[in-house]
Structure 1
Amino acid sequence: MSAVTPWLTGALVFLGAAVLAVPLAKALGLGAIIGYLAAGILIGPFGLALVDDPETILHFAEFGVVLMLFLVGLELDPKRLWALRRPIFGWGAAQVIGCALVMCLAGWALGAPWRLALVASLGLALSSTAIALQVMGERNLMATSSGQAGFAILLFQDVAAIPILALIPLLGVPEADDGNAWWEAARALGMVAAIVLGGRLLLRPLFRWIARSNTPEIFTAASLGLVAGIAALMQAVGLSMALGAFLGGVLLAESEYKRELETDVEPFKGLLLGLFFIAVGMSVDFNALLAHPAVVAGLLVGFLTIKAVVLWLLARGMALPWQERPVFTLLLAQGGEFAFVVFQAAAGARVFSPETASVLIGAVALSMLVTPLLLVAFDRWVQPRFASKALPDVKELDEPQDAPIIIAGFGRYGQIVGRLLYANGLKATVLEHDAEQIEFLRRFGFTVYYGDATRLDLLRTAGAAHAKVLVIAIDDVEQSLKVADLAKAHFPHLTVIARARNVQHWYSLRDRGVAHIEREILDASLMSARSVLEAMGWQPHHARTLAMRFRRHNVEQIEAMWPHRKDQARLVSMARAGRQQLEELFAQERREREERRREGWGE
């Protein structure tokens, strides 16, 4: 009998451990991440020793983090990223510098050499992007203020890892002159510029050419090849692979291939992220931890406490809702995967000994293991007992629905739509993301399901495959457009009726083929204008006629301006011409009414 090849044996070990540990962890209410970490510990060198080279596996599994950052970048177009520049470089810098400064002073006060205290504090100030984004996604927190703040801080940390790694050789014992530092910096900047410029000029034509071949598997291969290629280029000049993948995602965020790329990459991201967490569990050096248990315990509790205090103060400074602050603090207080790289580089540069690096890496890995447990404990015992208003027991959508209408968003706008439908005997499946809003509506007899309508699986469960109408009444513009994209890509038979916050939102919806759009304040504003006309002496029926005529003219004008939405000068010219036309129309009508009144026709 021939021997089983090593890679196949390794694949069976990883898959078997994940299949056994993850469902068990979820059944115990501990979450998937705990299952992956426990599986890694079980099969690693300090468990059953089924795998004895966790470092190699960890380097490969980091590609899961790279894919995750690529998908995050796809959700952020350049305009939105530019809008986040202040929280990224403001609060992000405050978090890294604040945590590092306090931990460095604490380490120095306890007698640690200043080089050790500085590098250790900089590494420990970083958080796990993989765990934080995974948990925020599972809890639907990305659209909340704490989710946006957490993402901004995590993105700054990925950027900050670059100068931290550049600083380490300056603090260590030099072995040889590796080259000019200015030349290395120029290479790094040149590579970033090449990725940005090349991405804008080449990626869309490339994917257009591949799409014409009508071979989905090649499109999938091109998607993965793009991410791997950018990661390799960034690593070649000593930059963060994850940061490069994020830039690639941002460059494609406005392309017509965005949804297809997300669909192709998502399954690989999930599997490789699981492998990453397993590798983290395997990399915990229990020999180093057992040799210095008091040091590890003190280090773990110390840096978690310091980061938690600094993050809580930042959350107050950012005016985050108090209900969101505990999860925000716990997610960012843990150590991160970049700390492994920082501490290994520091040991290589002889800033401190390999044994010290093992202790620091072990403390970081333990923090990544402890954080999901702390979140479970918080959800079960702390939040229900001490929160003045616990999250309501909302009903999640877990069974397929058959209503002909789906309403996404049931706030002040969606409620009016829903009430009119219910009054006329029409059945609708309602999705709402705000748990407190659902609890409030339930008191009035409404059946509303908790869920994020931007999730494709949830729309399928809501019955989008056979429903007739989808009402997009979501307040957030980005989420509204994402639902419209999903409907167009996966449920083209649906008649989409959407709410627009403003004219720009209206244009974006029309770009996606949505024909039935209503601006949320147009009719309310016209009703107020009618009341003003009546208060000034106009007859009610005349005021109504003028308001309806204004509405018809306004809608027609917006429709006519839509093809020229990117030509600012043309838009201004058309808007002025339309306003003048409307004023002349009303002036002509006033003259005609005055003539009829003089001739004795009256009102």
Structure 2
Amino acid sequence: MEAGNLLFYFFIIFTSAKIMGEICVRLRMPPIIGELMAGVLLGNYVLGIIDNSNHVLMSFAEIGVIFLMFHVGLEIRVKDLFAVGRTAIFVGILGVIIPLVLGFACMIFLNYEVVESLFVATAILATSVGISVKVLQDLGLIKHKVAYIVLGAAVFDDILALIVLALVKGLARKEFQTIEFSLLVIESIAFVGFLTWWGPKLAAKTRRWIEKLNIPEGPFVISIILCLGLAELADVIGLAAIIGSFMAGIVIDELAGVYDLENKVKYVNEFFLPFFFVMMGAHLDPRVFLEPRLLILILLVTVVAILSKMIGSALACWKKDWKTKIQIGVCMVPRGEVGIIVGLVGLSLHTITQEIYTVVLGMSLLTTLVTPPLILMSFRKKRHKSSTPAEFK
């Protein structure tokens, strides 16, 4: 891609995302809905201005969600995360088991092959927490107890989804390496456990060294290096890169306030994050809604995807009130890029058809689109007529 073309894409994506976001704010909707719709309009299937398979733009999209989760990690207090640990574990576990079972049963009932059904079920079980996190940030609820439960559950969700995907890939290839699989599980748990327990302690000891740096904005530079480094390490292990960046924020949480890292990273987010939402929207082909049979299948799988997460969250939080159960459930709904990746894996192994991939893609993007308004409704309190949409600014 030439430099001139790249600048054009940056300009059109960033500008259209912000304009559409502003329109949504004025309509009292979360701005990410506007950014997603900007992607739909700019994508291959409507105006055709951006290519949803462009590796450079997809890389910027991935960087966007990496910095989002890093920023979230900076806002999270480890002691508060531990306080909801048990609930988060249950939400993560049941949020994988129930979607897996219901998704598989749904596809088998519709007479699809076992391996195809397993891939759809795997796409259904993996939560893309970045969408929910952005909405909670916009609402000023990122430090709400529900947000801590969702973030904690997302870590366990990702590990379990990784394990299931490894199993399904092995079945699809008709080969299964017990040693490699076991190492994958051990490495994932060790990575998260070590960084959660020892990471903040080690970071605190580096404060004096960081303050001796002569480079401009030394602490900020070190934090970015840590974010990218742990994101890459998580990716190498097999976890999502966003888990690594989230853990980076957890590690240097206590230093964030001292060096005003939260605000500095927030400004980085404002540039990169629109690329993530626009590129997610660009994957949606509105024409699939013109094919009745395919549309019904997409809607059916989407309903199963939403209800299964809601049921899993409700069972995991059975002692909590229904409002909290619903809030946690809707925050676990979006599949986003995670479902798309699972679909691409199945397509690359030639174990699912283009039709099934379209269903997975449609489900992933529909759950992404419906999550912001669902979260807004679940957290909305009774307000006077003079209420304004300032919460989204």
Range moving further from structure 2, 298-307 or 62-71 = 298-307
Name the amino acid aligned to 1:154.
A
Aligned-pair CA distance for 1:310 = 5.5
Bigger radius of gyration among the two: 1
Partner of 1:393: 384
The normalised TM-score by structure 1 is: 0.56
Aligned-pair CA distance for 1:90 = 1.5
Give matches, 1:150-165, under 5 Å.
150-165=150-165
Partner of 2:220: 220
Name the amino acid aligned to 2:350.
R
Partner of 1:365: 365
Name the amino acid aligned to 1:393.
H
* Counterparts in 2 of 1:252 and 1:26: CA distance versus 1, 3 Å: same
Distance 2:384 2:259 in 1: 33
Aligned-pair CA distance for 1:210 = 3.5
1:50 matched to 2:49? The reply is yes
Distance 1:172 1:200 in 2: 41
Partner of 1:98: 98
Range moving further from structure 2, 257-266 or 31-40 = 257-266
Contact 2:330 2:371 in 1 (8 A): yes
Give matches, 1:408-427, under 5 Å.
none
Aligned-pair CA distance for 1:352 = 1.4
Distance 1:145 1:192 in 2: 21
Distance 1:318 1:49 in 2: 47
1:125 matched to 2:125? The reply is yes
SS in 2 for 1:254: helix
1:298 matched to 2:280? The reply is no
SS in 1 for 2:342: helix
Aligned-pair CA distance for 1:357 = 1.7
Distance 2:388 2:134 in 1: 21
Partner of 2:343: 343
Partner of 1:35: 34
Partner of 1:17: 16
1:260 matched to 2:260? The reply is yes
Give matches, 1:198-217, under 5 Å.
199=199, 203-204=203-204, 206=206, 208-213=208-213, 216-217=216-217
Partner of 1:276: 276
Any idea what the Cα deviations from partners look like across 1:48-100, whole Å, max 9, x if unmatched? 21112445223431222222222333334443333332112212211221122
Distance 1:197 1:313 in 2: 28
Distance 1:199 1:148 in 2: 19
Q: Percent identity?
A: 23
Any idea what the Cα deviations from partners look like across 1:499-528, whole Å, max 9, x if unmatched? xxxxxxxxxxxxxxxxxxxxxxxxxxxxxx
Contact 2:122 2:165 in 1 (8 A): no
Distance 1:189 1:373 in 2: 34
Distance 2:176 2:80 in 1: 44
Distance 2:216 2:388 in 1: 31
Structure 1 gaps, min length 5: 384-389, 399-449, 452-456, 458-603
Contact 2:43 2:51 in 1 (8 A): yes
More contact order relative to length (CA 8 Å, sep ≥ 6): 2
* Counterparts in 2 of 1:250 and 1:106: CA distance versus 1, 3 Å: same
Paired positions, count = 388
Greater percentage in strand? 1
Contact 2:310 2:326 in 1 (8 A): no
Range moving further from structure 2, 325-334 or 127-136 = 325-334
Partner of 2:167: 167
Aligned-pair CA distance for 1:174 = 5.8
Name the amino acid aligned to 1:270.
E
Contact 2:298 2:359 in 1 (8 A): no
Distance 1:81 1:8 in 2: 41
Name the amino acid aligned to 2:118.
L
Distance 1:227 1:142 in 2: 19
SS in 1 for 2:332: helix
Distance 2:27 2:183 in 1: 53
Any idea what the Cα deviations from partners look like across 1:278-336, whole Å, max 9, x if unmatched? 0101122446x258543233333443256336615743743444445544443433433
Any idea what the Cα deviations from partners look like across 1:161-182, whole Å, max 9, x if unmatched? 32133223212136999x9555
Structure 2 gaps, min length 5: none
Greater percentage in helix? 2
Aligned-pair CA distance for 1:183 = 5.6
Name the amino acid aligned to 1:276.
F
Distance 1:362 1:59 in 2: 22
Partner of 1:74: 74
1:241 matched to 2:241? The reply is yes
CA-atom RMSD, angstroms? 3.7
Contact 1:304 1:334 in 2 (8 A): no
Aligned-pair CA distance for 1:19 = 3.1
Distance 2:192 2:320 in 1: 33
Distance 1:364 1:273 in 2: 18
Distance 2:289 2:305 in 1: 24
Partner of 2:25: 26
